[in-house]
Amino acid sequence: MTAETEPATASARPPLPGARWALALGSLLLAGFLVIIVQASIDRGQRGALETVIQVTAVEDKVYYSVPPDGAERPPAARLGDRSLVLVSPSVVELHDSEARRVGTDSATALTVYSTGNLKVLSAKEQGNTFLLKVETGKYVKIRMTKPE
């Protein structure tokens, strides 16, 4: 070997073992991350269409029924389908909002009609034909269905 060829061989290093595999693996990982990022951004853009939250209790209901004063004429408190619901009594019953289950909503007044399985609030005899309207947080009045019109 001469001195002239020594610098040329010293600068020409042998290839690293597995360099091609490392490059291929790195490229695959980058491509995978890119796919994940694209999918996440698509899901985020469609979040409103993909996710809905339905509250079946009275926990966040802020539409309250205003009990008419004593002696005043009491029109139907709400409607549930084709049936009118009238106030049973202006007395208020207490019930935790998480125990009141949504039955339906009056489209005219936006009041939500509730039922409960709590026998202290609705007796077994009242279950099925007596419902509740929210007057404030944790307080309800009883309403009853009238005959179909």
Q: For residue 111, is it within any domain?
A: yes
- Structure confidence at residue 8 as a pLDDT band (50, 70, 90): low
Each residue's pLDDT tens digit, 38-78: 999 999 988 888 888 888 899 888 899 988 877 667 788 88
Q: For residue 100, is it within any domain?
A: yes
- Structure confidence at residue 133 as a pLDDT band (50, 70, 90): very high
- Structure confidence at residue 34 as a pLDDT band (50, 70, 90): very high
Q: For residue 137, is it within any domain?
A: yes
Are 103 and 141 in the same domain? Answer: yes
Are 83 and 124 in the same domain? Answer: yes
Each residue's pLDDT tens digit, 11-24: 677 777 888 899 99
Residue 32 scores a pLDDT above 90: yes
Are 83 and 139 in the same domain? Answer: yes
Are 103 and 140 in the same domain? Answer: yes
Q: For residue 73, is it within any domain?
A: no
Containing domain of residue 40, as a range? 18-50
C-alpha distance across the termini of the chain, in Å: 113
How many distinct structural domains can be found in the chain?
A: 2
Q: For residue 72, is it within any domain?
A: no
Q: How is residue 111 annotated by DSSP?
A: P
Q: For residue 4, is it within any domain?
A: no
DSSP state string for 62-102? -----PPPTTS----SEEETTEEEEEEEEEEEE--GGGPEE
**pTM given for the model:** 0.63
